[in-house]
Amino acid sequence: MYTANTLNQFITEQQSAYPGATGDFSRLLHHIGIAAKKVNRKVNKAGLVDILGQAGGSNVQGENQQKLDIYADDTFVNELCVCGECCAAVSEEKQETIIFNDPIHNNAKYIVCMDPLDGSSNIDVNVSIGTIFSIYRRLSPIGTPVTEADFLQKGSDQVAAGYIIYGSSTVLVYTVGQGVNGFTLDPSIGEFCLSHPAIKTPKNGIIYSINEGNYIKFPDGVKKYIKYCQENDPATRRPFVSRYIGSLVADVHRNLLKGGLFLYPETEFYSQGKLRLMYECNPIAFLLEQAGGIATDGKQRILDIVPEYIHQRSPFYTGSPDMVRKLLEFLN
C-alpha cells in the first residue's frame, strides 16, 4: 500500500477519501505549508538578519509588534490571497478582518483565522514560537462578499485547524477532523515529512503548565488544583512537574505528545483570560479533542462557545482528559 510521506502527498491522499473534493481545500492547505516554510526560513535566520526586535507598532491586543510578527502576517496573508481559495481572514495582527473582495476570492469557499506568529516575545531569546490556524467553510453564498456571520462560527464548525512550531525542528501539526498528524520540515528537500502519524495525547499526565506569577488572582478552583499538584501525598505520591514556556504552541505541543494540562485562567489583567478564542483556543481545542484530549473554559467545551467578537478572549484549560476532569472537580 502506497503511504504518503510528504505533507503534499498526505493532503492528496486525504483528499481521495472525499470523492466530491474539488482540490480547493487541498490547495489552501498546500499554501499554508508554503507560508510556513517562508516564515521558518526567516525565524531560523532571526539572529543574522535585521528581523529581530520590535517593529515599533503595536497590534490589536496592544502588544508590541515584533518585526517577525509583521513578516509572518504579511507572508500568510499573501499566500492566502494568491492561492485563491480563501475569501477572507482574521489575523491577531489586524483589528479588522482581511477581505479579498474581488470576483475570484468572492468565489472562494473558506475563511481562515490565524495567529501568524504566536509567542513572538520569545523570538529574541531563541525560544520556540508558532503559527496557529483555523479554517471554516463560509456561510454566505459563494460569489457574494463575506458577512460578519462567516467569521463568528463556533469552533465545532471548523473544517481544519493546526499549528506550526518553529523550534529545534519545525513541525506542522493539523487535523481535518480525522485525527491529528504531524510533519517535520526536512530542510534538505524543503518538504514537510510525516513524522507523527495519528497523534493521540496520553489519557493522563504529570505536567501542568500555568504562569504562577498570576497566582494571587486565580480562581479558587485553580489555586486548589495547583496545591493538589504540589502536595506530596504519601498515599498517592503524585509526581507532578511544572513546565511553562510562555509560548502557547510550545507548551501545547509538549503536552500533546507527553501528556499534561495547560491552564490560562482569567487573571487580574485579563479578566476574560488572555488567549483569543478564534485563533488560539478554538484551533488548539479542535486538535486536542481529535487527539483524545479535552478543551474547556472551565464551564463549557471551548468548541461550543458562540463567538461575539473576532478578537474575544477566553479562559483556556486543555490537555489529557483525566487531568482536565480532575481540574474541573476543583473548579466546579
Using rule CB under 6 A, residue 121 touches ligand P6P:
yes
Q: Which is nearer to ligand P6P, 26 or 128 (CB)?
A: 128
Q: Which is nearer to ligand P6P, 12 or 214 (CB)?
A: 214
C-alpha R_g of the chain = 19
By CB under 6 A, name the one of 43, 86, 113, 119 that touches ligand P6P: 119
Residues 15-74 that bind ligand P6P (CB under 6 A): none
By CB under 6 A, name the one of 31, 37, 138, 274 that touches ligand P6P: 274
Question: 120 near 68, Cβ under 8 Å?
Answer: yes
Q: Which is nearer to ligand P6P, 247 or 318 (CB)?
A: 247
CB under 8 A, 24+ apart: contacts of 14-17: 14/176, 14/178, 17/178
Helix (H/G/I), strand (E/B), else coil: 305: coil
Q: End-to-end distance of the chain based on CA atoms, in angstroms?
A: 49
Tracing cell 466530491 back to the chain, one arrives at 20
By CB under 6 A, name the one of 246, 300, 304, 329 that touches ligand P6P: 246
At its nearest, how many Å lie between ligand P6P and the CB of residue 120? 7
Q: Which is nearer to ligand P6P, 247 or 320 (CB)?
A: 247
At its nearest, how many Å lie between ligand P6P and the CB of residue 190? 27
Alpha-carbon gap, residue 262 to 330, rounded angstroms = 15
Alpha-carbon torsion angle 142, 303, 209, 275, nearest 10: 50
Residues 207-236 that bind ligand P6P (CB under 6 A): 211
How many residues line the site for ligand P6P (CB under 6 A)? Answer: 8
Pairing of strands 241-242, 207-209: parallel
Alpha-carbon torsion angle 119, 187, 169, 10, nearest 10: 90
Q: Which is nearer to ligand P6P, 228 or 270 (CB)?
A: 270
| Contact range with ligand P6P by CB under 6 A, out of 69-77, 241-249, 296-304, 317-325 | 241-249
Using rule CB under 6 A, residue 118 touches ligand P6P:
yes
Q: Which three cell numbers stand for residue 297?
A: 473554559
What letter represents residue 43's amino acid? V
| Contact range with ligand P6P by CB under 6 A, out of 4-12, 14-22, 117-125, 282-290 | 117-125
| Contact range with ligand P6P by CB under 6 A, out of 78-86, 113-121, 187-195, 295-303 | 113-121
At its nearest, how many Å lie between ligand P6P and the CB of residue 252? 8
Using rule CB under 6 A, residue 248 touches ligand P6P:
yes
Alpha-carbon gap, residue 68 to 319, rounded angstroms = 29
Q: Which is nearer to ligand P6P, 75 or 128 (CB)?
A: 128
Question: 242 near 228, Cβ under 8 Å?
Answer: no
Alpha-carbon gap, residue 311 to 57, rounded angstroms = 18
Interacting residues toward ligand P6P by CB under 6 A: 118-119, 121, 211, 246-248, 274
